[in-house]
Amino acid sequence: MTQQTKSTMSNQMGMAGSKQINSLQDLFVDQLRDLYSAEDQILQALPKMAQAANASELKKAFQTHLEQSRTHKQRLDRIFTDLGITSGGQHCEAMEGLIKEGEEALQLQGDPVVKDAALIAAGQRVEHYEMAGYGTVRTFADHLGFDKVEDLLQQTLDEEGEADKLLTSIAEGGIFKTGINEKANKNQR
């Protein structure tokens, strides 16, 4: 990485705190920092989701993804180190909103199977945000010629996709087959 590249990436804040994005590389770093903040927030939320889940398979899925998220954050740390830049200074407001919505599912009372369905919905919203973010920065890394970084980001993107598929299979393979709609229809009559 050239000295000019490091200078450009470290000088992303312009006047009055507004971001200065002048290149794809600036945008790439900005997006990496956003994902880093998102992973931090996810690491705080996943233990609560695992605890709130009723189905053992769902608890295990959240616990497994917690471990994966730790690895994702470590990969991001490695990327920041390899690029010679810092990880901090950014807060992912989108993830904050998704987690806030997910906290509503944590507070639900009633049928535990329905609560699990709400937790799956919240979890998949987070996964889809992460897949969009990691897919974007992976593409940026490709265009910027950061091959090793691209490979690390692809690994994370693949794991996020698998986590999403697992949540879908838990829902379709068990939760939605338990007759929760039939119970709801009987209760409404």
Three-class SS of the chain:
CCHHHHHHHHCCECHHHCECCCCHHHHHHHHHHHHHHHHHHHHHHHHHHHHHCCCHHHHHHHHHHHHHHHHHHHHHHHHHHHHCCCCCCCCCHHHHHHHHHHHHHHCCCCCHHHHHHHHHHHHHHHHHHHHHHHHHHHHHHHHHCCHHHHHHHHHHHHHHHHHHHHHHHHHHHCHHHCCHHHHHHHHHC
Phi, psi of 46 (to 5 degrees): -60, -40
Which domains, ranges and CATH numbers included, belong to the chain?
21-180 (1.20.1260.10)
**39 class by beta-carbon count within 10 Å (0-12 exposed, 13-18 middle, 19+ buried):** buried
Q: Two tokens at 57?
A: 């398979």
Phi, psi of 154 (to 5 degrees): -65, -40
Q: How far is CA 176 from the centre of its chain?
A: 24
What local confidence, expressed as pLDDT, does residue 4 receive? Answer: 43
Question: What is the reported pTM?
Answer: 0.83
Task: List per-block mean pLDDT (blocks of 10 residues) for the chain, which spans 189 residues.
Answer: 44 54 95 97 97 95 97 97 92 96 91 93 96 98 98 98 94 67 51
Contact status, residue 90 vs residue 145, Cβ threshold 8 Å: no
**5 class by beta-carbon count within 10 Å (0-12 exposed, 13-18 middle, 19+ buried):** middle
What local confidence, expressed as pLDDT, does residue 19 receive? Answer: 76
**93 class by beta-carbon count within 10 Å (0-12 exposed, 13-18 middle, 19+ buried):** exposed
What local confidence, expressed as pLDDT, does residue 89 receive? Answer: 80
